[in-house]
Amino acid sequence: MAERVFDRETILDTTVNVIPLGIMAFFFVVFLVFAPWGGSSLVGLISLALIVIPFIGLALLTYLTARAL
């Protein structure tokens, strides 16, 4: 029988990163909906990049950690 890639212990160890991912997703939606800095596209782009890039990095790091465990 083949062993599952993500067993119960691995999922429990990596769920710690779900809360920061959720917080970053929340702020991404808030910045898209409310545009807190007006119409400046450069500032808006920078603010979204400061959320999206760490989100992708944390998601990738979480996946790689789960694979290593």
Q: Where are the domains of the chain?
A: 8-68
Percent pLDDT > 70 in the chain is 83
How far is 4 from 7, CA to CA, in rounded Å? 6
pLDDT in tens, 32-50: 888 766 667 787 788 888 8
Provide the whole-model pTM.
Answer: 0.72
Q: How far is CA 14 from the centre of its chain?
A: 13
How far is 57 from 49, CA to CA, in rounded Å? 12
How far is 5 from 22, CA to CA, in rounded Å? 23
